[in-house]
Amino acid sequence: MEGKEITPQEIIGKFEEKINEATKGLAGSAEVENLKSELSEIKNLAEKDQTEGMKEKLVELESAVKSLKESSKNAPVKRKSLVELIKEKAEKIQEVVKSGKGKVEISLKAQQDPSDIGTRDDYAQFLEGTIKKPVRATRITDLFRRVNVSTEYVKYREQNAVTRDAKVVVACATSTSNTKTTWVNRTVQIQKIRDFVDICIDMIDDYSFVASEVEQLVNESVKLKEEAEILAGTGNILSIDGIASEFDPANVLAPFTGAFQSATLAELTASMKAQIFTFGQENSWDADTIVMNYNDFVKFMHQKNADNDYLLPNFVMQGDGILNGMKIVTSPLVSANTLYVFDSSKGEILDRQGATLEMSYENNDNFEHEIVTLKVIERLQFHVANINQDAFMKCTNISTALTALTA
């Protein structure tokens, strides 16, 4: 800057270039305005040829430019909106409007907006897992123990006829006795539940979730069918509905006919439990489970008398759904206005083969079309010995039964 060959005007020109370079993209900032002000003062000094004063000002200005240039490296460049630019030009715009001549220049830079990306949802984050449709829980089959068996047919023995004829005698008096028992062997045949689905092999290769979710689907299908058959099936699997005795006005035990004031499900299930207990000679069977429709359960829990008092006392209904000492199990398989009461210890599930998954494409033209068949098989039978079938009771019309119980 001290070279004699460079005039003050040329030096000023170079600093104008430095300012433009250092402040590129920061137009309108306070720092830039200060530099411009300093440059104006230097121009004035140059015109008056005050060399020493100009040199001092140039040193200050060069330091300011360097400092601004360093800070601008890390400063984010904020693009001004059209509104902000118009505000900056407000005075100039007003002058043009007043004078009716002149022009105002507003410069807008191009920018990238989200709309520049077509189908942006293609880049969305995908949440893990699949949201499943509601499916019932297999609460009924969970009530019974499972017994492993190894053959298609299972036999068991039970008493057929029993006579107990003990006598009371005096001293050594003679007596007679007809005490006797006979036995009978009974046979149970294992049944099969099957479900399958065909899947394109490409789907399994291309989509990681397909194989596991389809496998779960057919497994659930078999288990749900098992429970439906055990509760109320009409096929070759023994069902609770098929063996349970009916609790209705025709066979209600005499002590319970018209025995209760304003009978509710509490009185009905207690009567059914008592009847089972009586059939078992008050020794063999003790009902421990009620299976009913959930909506009937809700209505029962909230019954009130004419004074708006709840009818269900604590000594009848305990916590966790225990009514008259019996666990309440609800299921959508049970129709409204019906219920079952039974001793769950008297039933068992004979397992010949638990749910087993098989996969094959050697079926029909599967190989030709790259199709794999997933198949799930379960072999089982629900078993209740003939003698114990009276430990199961159903009520097919709750309303009618309540009428029979009410005084």
Q: What is the pLDDT of residues 182-202, one digit of tens each?
A: 999 999 999 999 999 999 999
Spatial distance between the Cα atoms of 252 and 244, rounded to a whole number of angstroms = 14
Percent of the chain with pLDDT over 90: 47
Q: How many CB atoms lie within 10 A of CB 333?
A: 17
Kindly report, residue by residue over 167-186, the tens digit of the pLDDT: 999 989 999 999 999 999 99
Q: Place 319 in a pLDDT band, splitting at 50, 70 and 90.
A: low
- Is the pLDDT higher at 290 or at 71? 290
Q: What is the pTM of this model?
A: 0.70
Mean pLDDT of 281-306: 91
| CB burial string 104-113: b at 16+ within 10 A, e below | eeeeeeeeee
Please answer whether residues 37 and 25 qualify as being in contact, where contact means their C-beta atoms are separated by less than 8 angstroms. Answer: no
As a dihedral over the C-alpha atoms of residue 329, residue 332, residue 336, residue 339, rounded to 10 degrees, the angle is -30
pLDDT digits 0-9 by tens, 78-108: 656 656 666 666 666 666 556 666 665 656 5
Quote the pLDDT of residue 258: 87
Q: Exposed e or buried b for every residue in 257-274, given b needs 16+ CB within 10 A?
A: eebbeebbbbbbbbbbbb
Give the pLDDT confidence of 206-257 residue by residue, as tens digits: 888 888 999 999 999 999 999 999 999 998 999 999 999 888 766 666 788 8
Pairing of strands 145-148, 348-360: parallel
Query: Rounded distance, CA 194 to CA 217, Å?
Result: 13
DSSP sequence for 187-215: EEE-EEEEEEEEEEHHHHHH-TTHHHHHH
